[in-house]
C-alpha cells in the first residue's frame, strides 16, 4: 500500500485554552487584517489531522486553524469530565486569543458542525460565515428516559475507563477500513495514525479520553438547539452526504423542510456518494463546495 502523501504541510502548536493545553494544527498563510482565519472544527472521536484530505484538495491557500477538542487527539484531558457547553466556551476562548477583532469563518464536521451552529446562533456578531458538514443535531429525547440515563451515568463514573488498544497501526487501519468502507486503504492508514499513538510496548492505543463514551446525565434537548439555531445571522452552507448514515436516524427532523425552518437562509448542498465522513470520503467535492462558499463570503 502506498502511504498518503500530504500536499500541504501542517504546523502544530499548543494553545492554552481555559486551563488546558489544546493542540492547534495550521495550514496556509497566517491570518491578517484583510484575510480572516478559517477555523476547522472536527467531529466526535476525530482529530484535526483528518481535515488534511480536504485541505489538500483546496485550489487556494487559506489561513486555516484547526484544534483538537479537549480530551480528543493530542489535547489535554480535563479531570472533571465532559460537558457540552465547555466546547462552546473553548471555541470562544480560542477566538478571543486568535481573532478578537474580526468575525471568523467556521467550518465544522459532525459534532464540530453542531458546535459551530450553536455558537453562530449564540454569538452572531462573531461569525462571518459558517459551513456545517453533517452537523444536524441529535435525536430527540423525552423526560421518561432521564432516570435510566442518570443511573447509567452514576454507574459509569465509578468505573475505570476502558482503554482500547491494537497490535499495530495496520490492525487499526483494517478496522477503520471495515467501519468506513468508502475510505481508500491509504486514507484508512492515515486516519489510523491520526487517531492512534504508538506505546512503548509496541501496541497502538487510541488517542482521546475513553470517558467520552460515557453517557451524559443531561438529556439532549433538540428543541433548545433549534431555538439557538434560529438566531444565526451569518450565511450558512449545510453539506449533506448523499449516503449519510446519520441523517435517516432523525426522521422528520432530518428533512430539508425542517432544516430550512431551523437554519435561517441556509444553503443546502448534497455530496453524492459521501457518507457521514464526507470530508474524508469525498474531499475533492467537499473542498469545491467549501471553497466556493468561502470565496463569496
pLDDT mean by block of 10 residues, the chain; 297 residues: 90 96 96 85 97 97 97 94 94 95 95 98 97 96 96 92 89 96 96 96 93 92 97 97 94 94 95 96 98 95
Set of cell numbers at residue 234: 451569518
Is 269 part of any domain? yes
Note whether 253 and 127 are same-domain residues: yes
Report d(CA 174, CA 169) in Å as an integer: 9
- At residue 250, the pLDDT reads 95
Note whether 237 and 270 are same-domain residues: yes
Is 33 part of any domain? yes
Set of cell numbers at residue 101: 477583532
The domain containing residue 127 runs over which residues?
11-138+220-295
**Backbone torsions φ then ψ of 198, nearest 5 degrees:** -75, 125
Report angle CA 17, 19, 25 to the nearest 5 degrees: 30
Is 155 part of any domain? no
Note whether 169 and 289 are same-domain residues: no
Note whether 174 and 115 are same-domain residues: no
Is 84 part of any domain? yes
Is 66 part of any domain? yes
Say which CATH number the domain at 114 has.
Answer: 3.40.50.1820
3-state helix, strand, coil in the chain (%, to 5): 40, 20, 40
Is 77 part of any domain? yes
Closest CA to 130 of 290, 256, 255, 258: 290
Indicate the number of domains in the chain: 2
Note whether 16 and 120 are same-domain residues: yes
What stretches of the chain adopt beta strand conformation (E)? 11-17, 20-27, 38-41, 64-67, 104-109, 127-133, 165-166, 196-198, 204-206, 236-241, 267-271
pTM over 0.85: yes
Amino acid at each position: 500500500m502506498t502511504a498518503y502523501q500530504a500536499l500541504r504541510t501542517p504546523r502544530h502548536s499548543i494553545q492554552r485554552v481555559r486551563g488546558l493545553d489544546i493542540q492547534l494544527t495550521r495550514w496556509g498563510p497566517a491570518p491578517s487584517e484583510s484575510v480572516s482565519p478559517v477555523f476547522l472544527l472536527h467531529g466526535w472521536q476525530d482529530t484535526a489531522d483528518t481535515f488534511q484530505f480536504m485541505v489538500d484538495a483546496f485550489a487556494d491557500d487559506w489561513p486555516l486553524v484547526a484544534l483538537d477538542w479537549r480530551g480528543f487527539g493530542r489535547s489535554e484531558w480535563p479531570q472533571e469530565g465532559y460537558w457540552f457547553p465547555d466546547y462552546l466556551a473553548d471555541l470562544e476562548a480560542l477566538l478571543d486569543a486568535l481573532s478578537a477583532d474580526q468575525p471568523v469563518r467556521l467550518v465544522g464536521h459532525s459534532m464540530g458542525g453542531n458546535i459551530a451552529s450553536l455558537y453562530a446562533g449564540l454569538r452572531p456578531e462573531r461569525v462571518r460565515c459558517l459551513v456545517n458538514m453533517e452537523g444536524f443535531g441529535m435525536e430527540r429525547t423525552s423526560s421518561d428516559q432521564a432516570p435510566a440515563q442518570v443511573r447509567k451515568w452514576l454507574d459509569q463514573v465509578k468505573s475505570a475507563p476502558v482503554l482500547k488498544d491494537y497490535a499495530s497501526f495496520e490492525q487499526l487501519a483494517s478496522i477503520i477500513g471495515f467501519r468506513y468502507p468508502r475510505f481508500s486503504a491509504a486514507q484508512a492508514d492515515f486516519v489510523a495514525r491520526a487517531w492512534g499513538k504508538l506505546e512503548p510496548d509496541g501496541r497502538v492505543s487510541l488517542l482521546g479520553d475513553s470517558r467520552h463514551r460515557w453517557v451524559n446525565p443531561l438529556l439532549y434537548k433538540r428543541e433548545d438547539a433549534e431555538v439557538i439555531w434560529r438566531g444565526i445571522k451569518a450565511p450558512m452552507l449545510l453539506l449533506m452526504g448523499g449516503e449519510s448514515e446519520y441523517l435517516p436516524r432523525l426522521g422528520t427532523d432530518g428533512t430539508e423542510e425542517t432544516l430550512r425552518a431551523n437554519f435561517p437562509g441556509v444553503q443546502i448542498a448534497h455530496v453524492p456518494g459521501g457518507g457521514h465522513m464526507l470530508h474524508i470520503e469525498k474531499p475533492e467535492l467537499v473542498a469545491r463546495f467549501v471553497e466556493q462558499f468561502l470565496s463569496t463570503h
